[in-house]
């Protein structure tokens, strides 16, 4: 598995490895380029957590996602206290491909 020092290193490398779609959270789905995707159709392939240098409460999570139709992309969310309520609901629908993908 991969190890990254920063969020930008993670997103850059994941993009280079084919995770080129940039997903965002909507009320009940994932959105990319104006298209809606059901979270149930995606797996979490890799997951990384990052703390802010100056504020430990400034946490972010990077999810490398792969869809049933081969779509590959990245979802960046707040983590911990900064996480949005809708993020938790949608993320519960996503399944980890395997436990080795958690970092």
Buried b (16+ CB within 10 A) or exposed e, 37-63: bebebbbbbbbbebeeeeeeeebbbbb
Copy the structure tokens of residue 72: 């590959």
Distance spanning both ends of the chain, measured CA to CA: 9
Domain spans in the chain, listed from the N-terminal domain onward: 7-101
Q: Does residue 100 have a pLDDT over 80?
A: no
Handedness of CA 47, 54, 57, 32 (dihedral sign): negative
The dotted CATH code for 7-101 is 2.30.29
Stated pTM of the model: 0.83
Q: Does residue 83 have a pLDDT over 60?
A: no
Copy the structure tokens of residue 71: 């779509």
Count the neighbouring beta carbons within 10 Å of the beta carbon of residue 65.
26
Predicted pLDDT of residue 2 = 86
């Amino acid at each position: 598995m991969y190890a990254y020092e920063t969020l930008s290193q993670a997103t850059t490398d994941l993009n280079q490895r084919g995770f080129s779609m940039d997903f965002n959270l909507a009320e009940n789905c994932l959105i990319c380029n104006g298209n809606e995707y059901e979270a149930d159709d995606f797996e979490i392939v890799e997951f990384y957590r990052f703390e802010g240098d100056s504020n430990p409460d400034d946490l972010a999570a990077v999810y490398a996602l792969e869809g049933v139709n081969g779509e590959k992309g990245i979802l960046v969310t707040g983590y911990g206290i900064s996480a949005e309520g809708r993020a938790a609901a949608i993320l519960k629908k996503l399944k980890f491909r395997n436990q080795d993908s958690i970092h």
